A and B are shown apart, each in its own frame.
Chain A
Amino acid sequence: MNKQEFLSLLRQELSGLPEEDIEERVAFYEEMIDDRMEEGVTEVEAVRAVGPVREIVSQIVSETPITKLVKERIRPKRQLQAWEIVLLVLGFPLWFPLLIAAFAVLLSVYIVIWSVILSLWAADVSLAASSIGCVVAAVVVLCRGEAASGLLMIGAAAVLAGLSIFLFFGCREATRGAAVLTKKIALGIKSMFLRKEEAK
């Protein structure tokens, strides 16, 4: 591959980037090739030394923030035709609710995950609270001289306290798991955009 072929292939592969970024990149690689040729290396060898276009492009894509890729992708490359604008406006009742629905689904997944966690903690807190309640009741009953029911209540308090401590560790683990899960979901959505861009 000679220099011109290399540069035009690079330009073509980078077409998803803003125009000025492409020009700067291409000029940079051109200078690299020229400097090598100046040292006496042949054109083909100089191009080979700079590396395959595919490798260069995949490195550039991985380094470009997703927002830039998406923005450049959404931005129309040319002036929108009148009928396209009309279609966008007329289609608004269709695509806008779809967009909202997608966000709502995502939001509800998060809410479902975290409400399970919240209810677990609520159960734990109520166990601990009823344990304390039992102790108070036991003291009152014992003061009245009803030893048997007092003893029963102390036993119940101990059982409840034990359960709440046991559940505490379960809650902690579940919270950690949910945090990992939500993070994974967010990452998955991001890489979905990136993969689409790379496949192009």
Chain B
Amino acid sequence: MDIQLKRGLLDVCVLAAIKNEDSYGYKIIKDMKPYIELSESTLYTILKRLEQQEMLTVKSAEHDGRLRKYYHITGTGLKRIRDFREEWKEIMAIYQFVTKEDEHHE
């Protein structure tokens, strides 16, 4: 898949994983696993980028005698998800057009 496209999709996936409640690194990976396999390093980069874009905030909380980082979605992050759903309608329309052309030729 095109790198730019995949990167954008993964950003939205991670935002969706923290949409309903704050989550932490390992839980995000586990929640996404049935849909998309994500390595720790890739997740780190995505979280860092989303934090810089102010789509999420990070806070450390104690858990079982150690610190764990929890990620919380912001208004900007929620807007990104809404925008994605709108954009995707356009992409689906393009997809239908492209596959229709295929049928026509075969």
Residues on A lying within 8 angstroms of B by beta carbon are 25, 27-29, 31-32, 34-36, 38, 50-51, 55-56, 59-60, 63
Contact = CB atoms under 8 A, between A and B. Distances in A.
Contacts of B42: 59
Given A31-B24, A31-B25, A56-B41, 16 more contacts: A25-B44, A27-B69, A28-B25, A29-B40, A31-B68, A31-B69, A32-B25, A32-B26, A35-B26, A35-B27, A50-B40, A51-B39, A56-B40, A59-B39, A59-B42, A63-B45
B41 to A, nearest CB: 5
Interface residues of B, number: 15
A144 to B, nearest CB: 64
Interface in B14-46: 24-27, 39-42, 44-45
Contacts of A50: 40
Contacts, number: 38
Interface of B: 24-27, 39-42, 44-45, 64, 66-69
A50 B29 CA distance: 11
B6 to A, nearest CB: 14
A38 B26 CA distance: 11
A32 B24 CA distance: 9
Nearest to A30: B66
Main SS at interface, chain A: helix
A107 to B, nearest CB: 32
A51 B67 CA distance: 22
Nearest to A35: B26
A60 B67 CA distance: 24
A176 B42 CA distance: 37
B44 A36 contact: no
A36 B64 CA distance: 13
A30 to B, nearest CB: 9
